[in-house]
Structure 1
């Protein structure tokens, strides 16, 4: 059972262990050990007084050596802990260190000026090195009361006792500040690592989405034109050659677009996508009607790009899946939103059909603009809406 566990906050109870490597854990403990060793010189200066205060110096030496060793151990464990609360073994070491400090302060430092202050002060410092807030605050309070009570019992003046307690508060406050700085540095490091991982993941998703949308449309167009070439090859070789040349052009354009997608600089305006969609749908034998209530150059750049992807994906799906004879593409503007609708008279979409990568990619693109993508019938209707206030700002 954890000592002081009832005083832990809900956040401390819920906090998980710090996911660090053994190498990092050793590094933390080494830092804590070096920090403790640097600040242990005031304790070591009491060694001579402790040994001279008794007729059994060997016992005094053993107690004093155990006190110093436990101090170093507790501080190292506190600075290197990966747990939200110290394990029972470390707490027992701290309490043993505290008892030794009280014994040395009462029986072995009567003649040493400020000896009791130094010993109890390090008890307080060790406690706040091991315990996290708010438990550390209770430890500081208890150490201050212990030191103040010892001073009053020894007959010290109230002003001197208050000075001793103030020294304890200042020393423990410094340790708490150092521990908090270390915690913040660790959190910043973890946040930086997470942001880097997230950036890599977002770039991977961007590339997968762009590659799907680019190749899906281009390959569908190549398949359609190849079928036209096959039908025209015997009865109209000149027309077949023309279609074959267009297949070559589509292939070259697809290769260039993939290269642009890799570098992240691909920008194909909606007007070009509308022109390309009309040609691809016409080649597939689908009549295409495009109605624009506004000019495409009136759209904000981000909306223009998002709608261009909607037209590309919708045209690809119409060619591959719909079996439609006509398709309508409409661009509108209301008082609150930009809207793009693609509607065909094909077989529609089965209610149980799962949403493919293309539509999921469109939702992600529109969500970045607080936009929405909706599907309806008859046939298959795809509608994209983007709030004007959000996109124009």
Structure 2
């Protein structure tokens, strides 16, 4: 269900939420993880490279020639090392859940020290390096560490800026970008990670839904084919015994076999389509027929569902009746079977009891009873089985009665 909702569109025609496609593109592309192919590396390099344009101030300072040759060469090497370290951190640590390796802490400390050295010796154009250090902290460190590292780097920027920028007209303008850049990177990491977890949860829900559908189909086919095939087997045996002396009666049994086979085919198609929901009235009639064909005396104390019984609850009781009668016919060797439907205290109880041999003491419940338990739980009911008083087997299936008032047109209404 969640998987379906996530792909739906709202009334305006846009996918919901509106930023979902952009975040999914970032998460599934090269921007939110370590590049695995050359194309992903180029895309991420292009994205990260756009922000390197703000290094224009220190580059211009070097190009102006205001420093000596040795100082310019050393500063150029320092700036190149800073850029390489920054790219390495952003490439290798973006949205990576693993704990940072020790060398990454060393790189961040080296970047901070290099930024402080270049800014203190070459002047205020180099203060912008601290913004990149703050962003690198947000990208490389986990949240519990980056939330303190970003303000710490900004504090170092403020301290050095106060020393090298005496008029104070530049470094205050860098404090907010440093804070916003670092915390924006933290926020993006958290957002992408959340979207990734939501995607994994959606896949899990889809897998569980598929598993539940397979279980539903298995339950339906087991109950449908078990009952139908048991009835076909009984009628075939009966027709075989009648054929030599009573061919007319045998022909009637063969006609019944054809009807049961056709109905079984319809039931299987409905089960596969997900629309199969038996009714108590139909199953009570089928129970009388199946028991009579097997030569078992049937005492049925029920005519149909009580008023106010929800369709899901009625379907669960109908499945229980079908499975119970099938077990009586196939396994019990009983001479009599009693079916009763009672209502007491807002609970509807179906009881099927026989006087057969019953199951062994150490016999485990089969697939049919296990499926019944699952059906009744989904309908808010319970299943209870045990030996009958005369040595046979008793099955009790209970579901809550829908106590909503019934309107004149037959529809249930609620206050």
Calculate the TM-score normalised by the size of structure 1.
0.84
SS across alignment from 2:339: strand
How far is 1:80 from its partner?
A: 5.0
Evaluate the alpha carbon distance shift between residue 265 and residue 281 of structure 1 in structure 2; reply closer, same or farther with a 3 A threshold. Answer: same
How far is 1:318 from its partner?
A: 1.0
Which residue number corresponds to residue 48 of structure 1? 60
Which residue number corresponds to residue 276 of structure 1? 286
Contact between 2:135 and 2:182, CA under 8 Å: does it hold in 1? Answer: yes
1:231 aligns with 2:241: yes
Evaluate the alpha carbon distance shift between residue 159 and residue 359 of structure 1 in structure 2; reply closer, same or farther with a 3 A threshold. Answer: farther
Evaluate the alpha carbon distance shift between residue 107 and residue 24 of structure 1 in structure 2; reply closer, same or farther with a 3 A threshold. Answer: closer
How far is 1:127 from its partner?
A: 0.5
Which residue number corresponds to residue 380 of structure 1? 393
Q: Deviations over 1:64-121 (max 9, x none)?
A: 111112112211222252x34223344443333333323322223x152xx31x1112
Evaluate the alpha carbon distance shift between residue 75 and residue 217 of structure 1 in structure 2; reply closer, same or farther with a 3 A threshold. Answer: same
Which residue number corresponds to residue 78 of structure 1? 93
How far is 1:344 from its partner?
A: 1.4
Contact between 1:370 and 1:390, CA under 8 Å: does it hold in 2? Answer: no
Q: Which moved more, 1:329-338 or 1:240-249?
A: 329-338
CA distance in 2: counterparts of 1:388 and 1:30, whole angstroms = 65
Q: Deviations over 1:260-308 (max 9, x none)?
A: 1111112321110111011101111111111138744542111111111
Q: Deviations over 1:309-354 (max 9, x none)?
A: 1111111111111111111112122223222121112112223212
SS across alignment from 2:357: coil
Which residue number corresponds to residue 108 of structure 2? 94
Evaluate the alpha carbon distance shift between residue 366 and residue 111 of structure 1 in structure 2; reply closer, same or farther with a 3 A threshold. Answer: closer
Which residue number corresponds to residue 26 of structure 1? 35
Which residue number corresponds to residue 159 of structure 2? 149
Contact between 2:239 and 2:253, CA under 8 Å: does it hold in 1? Answer: yes
CA distance in 2: counterparts of 1:231 and 1:163, whole angstroms = 101
Evaluate the alpha carbon distance shift between residue 54 and residue 178 of structure 1 in structure 2; reply closer, same or farther with a 3 A threshold. Answer: farther
CA distance in 2: counterparts of 1:294 and 1:237, whole angstroms = 36
Structure 1: gaps (5+ residues): 1-19
CA distance in 2: counterparts of 1:262 and 1:349, whole angstroms = 32
Q: Which moved more, 1:283-292 or 1:92-101?
A: 92-101
CA distance in 2: counterparts of 1:21 and 1:251, whole angstroms = 55
Contact between 1:78 and 1:129, CA under 8 Å: does it hold in 2? Answer: yes
Which residue number corresponds to residue 206 of structure 1? 216
Contact between 1:294 and 1:332, CA under 8 Å: does it hold in 2? Answer: no
SS across alignment from 2:319: helix
Q: Which moved more, 1:24-33 or 1:85-94?
A: 24-33
How far is 1:163 from its partner?
A: 5.8
CA distance in 1: counterparts of 2:353 and 2:46, whole angstroms = 72
Contact between 1:207 and 1:261, CA under 8 Å: does it hold in 2? Answer: yes
Q: Which moved more, 1:239-248 or 1:49-58?
A: 49-58
SS across alignment from 2:69: coil
Contact between 2:95 and 2:192, CA under 8 Å: does it hold in 1? Answer: no
SS across alignment from 2:211: helix
SS across alignment from 2:278: coil
Q: Which moved more, 1:255-264 or 1:33-42?
A: 33-42
CA distance in 2: counterparts of 1:24 and 1:304, whole angstroms = 53
CA distance in 2: counterparts of 1:354 and 1:91, whole angstroms = 60
Contact between 1:105 and 1:120, CA under 8 Å: does it hold in 2? Answer: no
SS across alignment from 2:316: helix
Which residue number corresponds to residue 121 of structure 2? 107
Q: Which moved more, 1:49-58 or 1:68-77?
A: 49-58
CA distance in 1: counterparts of 2:183 and 2:295, whole angstroms = 79
Which residue number corresponds to residue 60 of structure 1? 75
Evaluate the alpha carbon distance shift between residue 368 and residue 120 of structure 1 in structure 2; reply closer, same or farther with a 3 A threshold. Answer: same
Which residue number corresponds to residue 274 of structure 2? 264
Contact between 2:324 and 2:395, CA under 8 Å: does it hold in 1? Answer: yes
How far is 1:191 from its partner?
A: 2.5
Which residue number corresponds to residue 324 of structure 2? 314
Which residue number corresponds to residue 336 of structure 1? 346
Contact between 1:29 and 1:80, CA under 8 Å: does it hold in 2? Answer: no
Contact between 2:119 and 2:160, CA under 8 Å: does it hold in 1? Answer: no
How far is 1:29 from its partner?
A: 6.6
Aligned length: 369
1:300 aligns with 2:314: no
